[in-house]
Amino acid sequence: MFARVITVHAQPGKIDEAATVYRDSIIPAAKNQKGFKDAMLLTDPVTGKGISVTLWETEADQKASEASGYVSQQLAKIVPLLAGPPVRESFVVSAKG
């Protein structure tokens, strides 16, 4: 399994709005992607930092979601709420409970 981690910093007072967009729009769109397994958004309401973690069945599925423009389309939904650019990273899931 593979994970995409995207770290963001919301504008002051916008982290809850970003979480709503993530829950109501980004997760439903992710469920339509081949190989998508799960998603979560971790937030710190004090600092406005958010960490999105999405899990993918294969590395090819994860990369395909990038190449298709899906990730950019989803990020465009929250970029207006952010204080700076999102940071994307990819990881191998080495252990999961």
Alpha-carbon distance 77 to 67, whole Å? 18
Q: What percent of the chain has pLDDT over 70?
A: 100
Q: What is the chain's alpha carbon radius of gyration, rounded to the nearest angstrom? A: 13
Write the single-letter amino acid at 3. Answer: A
pLDDT in tens, 6-35: 999 999 999 999 999 999 999 999 999 999
Check residue 62 and give its pLDDT: 96
pLDDT in tens, 53-91: 999 999 999 999 999 999 999 999 999 999 999 999 999
Check residue 77 and give its pLDDT: 97
The domain segmentation of the chain, as residue ranges, is 2-92
Specify whether the backbone of 48 is left (phi greater than 0), alpha (psi in -120 to 50) or beta.
left
Asked if CATH classification 3.30.70.100 holds for the domain at 2-92, the reply, yes or no, is yes
